[in-house]
Structure 1
Amino acid sequence: METTPSKPTPSIHAPSKIKPPPKSNIYPHGLIVGQGKFQYRVNCEWGMQDSEKYPVENCHDLAMDSQGRIFLVTDHPQNNVLIYSRTGELLDAWGTMFPCAHSIRIVNENGEEVIYLVDSGWITNRKWDGVSTDAWDSPTNKVIAQSGFIAKLTLDGRLIFTIGHPQTIGVYTPDQPFRPTDIAVAPNGDLYVTDGYGSDYVLHYSSNGQFIRRWGGANNANAECNLVNTHGIEVDLRNPNDPHLIVSSRGECKLKQFNLDGTYRGTIDTAGAHIGGPVFSGDHFFAPVCWSNINGKTVDNSGFISVFDKNNKVVTNIGGAAPCYKNGQLQPMCSSWDVFNHCHGLCVDGNGFVYVGQWRANQTYPIRLEPV
């Protein structure tokens, strides 16, 4: 398959059949990954649970509330949200109404924390033939597509409102798919949604869910404004006088910067890494890489986590080869095959611990990375 797919590649899709070097699915506890001051001991036992009671399919994303509880979203039909303590104790589990729970944000609004949960629209097929997993147009594939949505919830899972297909407000035509992948919340409460498995726009809404504008998609006069499999998004507040968005164009192996009104301002090349949206921690941000390119091919089980500094330069690849710049250009990045399959979502706590969820990782639970 080409480096940049001709259409968005959902997180439930594998981009190729190329096999990586042999790799055990039993992660070695105590393995140290990363470089420089970003080195971590891998704790693969942190999130493990009884898979009969609390099964997971893909661990899509994580977020932390003000009490230090870690919320994991998973697309298993038996439970969509698992809530952990920082030590890995399971505190609660709820939700069956989000069949492809894909992204989660927890924000404080007027003194009360709320959840924004993004469902990307892929569902388990009750007519699955038991074999097909990558036959996306087949009626007997393991998963099939429907429209996605965004839900605003209380911390205990009570629904406040939803945002559905933009055709209902005349923004999309009925034939345009809507399968959102992520959401960012600006300081004023405005919402920014990436339609990364649908039509590849960023959709801007007010805090009440009222549509304001859209941008991105394909075939823009300025190709840098195009978005391909726009998987993640966050507001960069490192300079409080210059808030702006960083948006992943995962199919292009790039992060793109936009002002809050959608005007383009720059591109960060990620050199062959199919990268998700940023998670900020101080002056740095972490970004999950689901696949990396090797010899021009997108390879399965080649994920890692890139760490960027305040100048948006990669300083560490956790689970990947050390970054290298030549003449100011980032050289191709790839997995070191130490620990990860496909890094999909993460959160970082105040003590620097990193909690990582993976897609297509044999139904394994989140991993905790403990600073060395």
Structure 2
Amino acid sequence: MERRKFIQQSTVFTASFFIAKDLLAKNDGPIYGHNGMKYRMDNKWGKLDPQNHPVNNCHEMVQDSKGRIIMLTDETKNNILIYDTAGKLLDFWGHDFPGGHGLTLVNENGTEFLFITDIVKHQVYKTTLDGRILMTIDVPVETGVYKDAKEFVPTETIVDTNGDIFIADGYGAQYITHYDRNGKLLNYFGGRGDGDEHFDNAHGIVIDRRQKRPSLLVTDRTRHCFKRFGLDGKLQDIIVLPGACVCRPVIKDQHLYAAVLMSIDMQHPGTGFTTILDKHNKVVSNIGGTEPVYKSGVLQPMSQAEKIFVHPHDVCVDSDDNLYVAQWASGKVYPYKFTRV
């Protein structure tokens, strides 16, 4: 009886030790960021068996109403990987998006859908959360500016509350196309060019509702800025981010988050970080980047400070303000989690 009691106690102690050790490890990662916007990194969070659930480029991530983290990769063995916030794989699907790039979550009267852009197939798809395709948007030849489907390389979408769809052609002719909920073209603006109203790399787009009047924030990545337009396509202002080749803008409450694919310029691979702006569009924190400095109200050039990313491509902000960062061309790494501290 004494031996049995000893074994039971030892088993409990051993189990408690390993549980405590695991919790300590999760709480012992390095901390990054500035000005009260600091995060503890877990670069093992989304790691899976690459034989069963491989990734190529991890492009974008969203969180649905169930709290699940949905990630898009251009690996056709499983284009969509669905995690819980602890990093456990819950589901996976998708074999038809060799150029899966943009991922947007839309809630229509309590039902959620995904919008996926494919830069190889030159199309945009509306799908159910389990992958059933409901609508496909092709090259907008009715604009008169596209002569061939290959000129249309959509990188991102955003959907308004009335169902209107805005598509950013970030790798193609650089137009923003505006459709109604049924896919009928309503307007287009931008296009490649040197003027402020034009783009060189309209990589991402979001509707900004932090002000009284909603507006569109559009990335111009190679020009290190976000450009603000009215929903009618008229330019309003430019948010300049020196040294930051920003990807899509992501808004959660009053903050704006963005992955910075490269710093300095697009000729410096492997120099990415993640940036956070406040409600006044002032940079307050950089994860893996230099501390933001303003001189006479002007933001000074930013760059990578710590080599924790290679090419971060998107940021997902969960309901607890934790971050998940997906990376492009970074050795097929799975997403990292950054827990707010």
Does the TM-score normalized on the shorter chain lie above 0.5? Answer: yes
CA contact (8 A) 2:143 2:188 kept: no
Deviations 1:42-75 (A, max 9, x none): 0011100000000001100001110001110001
> How far apart are the structure 2 equivalents of 1:319 and 1:354?
13
C-alpha RMSD of the superposition: 1.7
1:165 Cα deviation from its structure 2 partner: 1.3
Q: Show the counterpart of 2:119.
A: 120
Relative to structure 1, is the Cα distance of residues 347 and 51 closer, same or farther in structure 2, using a 3 angstrom cutoff?
A: same
Q: Name the CA shift for 1:359/1:176 in 2 (closer, same or farther; >3 Å).
A: closer
Q: Are residue 218 (structure 1) and residue 192 (structure 2) matched? A: yes
Q: Alpha-carbon deviation of 1:218?
A: 2.4
Task: Look up the equivalent residue of 2:111 and give its one-letter code.
Answer: E
2:203 maps to 1:234? no
User: Greater Rg, structure 1 or structure 2?
Assistant: 2
Does residue 1:323 correspond to 2:322, yes or no?
no
CA contact (8 A) 1:319 1:340 kept: yes
Give the match's secondary structure for 1:224: coil
1:60 counterpart residue number: 59
The one-letter code matched in structure 2 to 1:288 is: A
After superposition, the Cα gap between the structure-2 partners of 1:352 and 1:297, relative to the gap in structure 1 and judged at 3 Å, is closer
One-letter code of the match for 1:301?
A: G
1:156 aligned partner: 130
* Structure 2 portions without partners, runs of 5+: 1-27
Q: Give the distance between the partners of 2:31 and 2:58, measured in 1 at CA.
A: 22
Q: Which residue of 2 aligns with 1:280?
A: 251
Q: What residue in structure 2 maps to residue 340 of structure 1?
A: 309
User: Is contact 1:59-1:358 (8 Å) kept?
Assistant: yes
Report Cα offsets for 1:177-231 as digits up to 9, x if no partner.
01100011112111111101110111111111111111111236xx110111111
> Matched residues in 2 for 1:277 and 1:75: separation?
17
Q: Deviations over 1:282-319 (max 9, x none)?
A: 111101100011xx773111111111111111111111
Aligned to 2:276: 307
CA contact (8 A) 1:77 1:96 kept: yes
- Note if contact 1:106-1:116 (Cα within 8 Å) is conserved in structure 2: yes
1:252 corresponding residue in structure 2 = 223
Contact 2:245 2:266 in 1 (8 A): no
Q: What is the rounded CA distance, in whole Å, between the counterparts of 2:40 and 2:77 in structure 1?
A: 31
Alpha-carbon shift at residue 153 of structure 1 (Å): 0.5
Please give the alpha-carbon distance, in whole angstroms, between the structure 2 residues aligned to 1:118 and 1:175.
Answer: 14
* Partner SS state of residue 207, structure 1: coil
* Whole-Å separation in 1 of the counterparts to 2:87 and 2:314: 17
**Which of 168, 183, 192 in structure 1 is aligned with 2:166?**
192
Contact 2:122 2:149 (C-alpha < 8 Å) held by counterparts: no
Give yes or no for contact 2:229–2:236 (8 Å, CA) kept in 1.
Answer: yes
- Counterpart amino acid of residue 174 in structure 1: D
Counterpart for residue 351 of structure 1: 320
Return the offset for 1:100.
Answer: 1.1
Gaps of 5+ in 1: 1-28, 122-146
Query: Per-residue CA shift, 1:135-190, capped at 9, x if unaligned?
Result: xxxxxxxxxxxx41110001111010100111267552237701100011112111
The TM-score with structure 1 as length reference comes to 0.82
Cα deviation digits, residues 305-360 of structure 1 (max 9, x gap): 11111111111111100011111111110011231111101210111110110001
Aligned to 2:240: 269
1:300 aligned counterpart, secondary structure: coil
Aligned mate of 1:361, from 326, 330, 338: 330
Which amino acid in structure 1 is aligned with residue 169 of structure 2?
D
CA distance in 2, matches of 1:219, 1:176: 19
Structure 2 letter corresponding to 1:41: R
- Structure 1 position 69 matched with structure 2 position 68: yes
Q: Which residue of 2 aligns with 1:140?
A: none
Aligned-partner SS, 1:301:
coil
Partner of 1:5: none
Alignment: residue pair count: 315
More helix by share: 2
| Contact 1:287-1:305 at 8 Å conserved across structures | yes
Distance 1:297 1:117 in 2: 25
Query: Bigger relative contact order, structure 1 or 2, given CA contacts below 8 A and separation 6+?
Result: 1
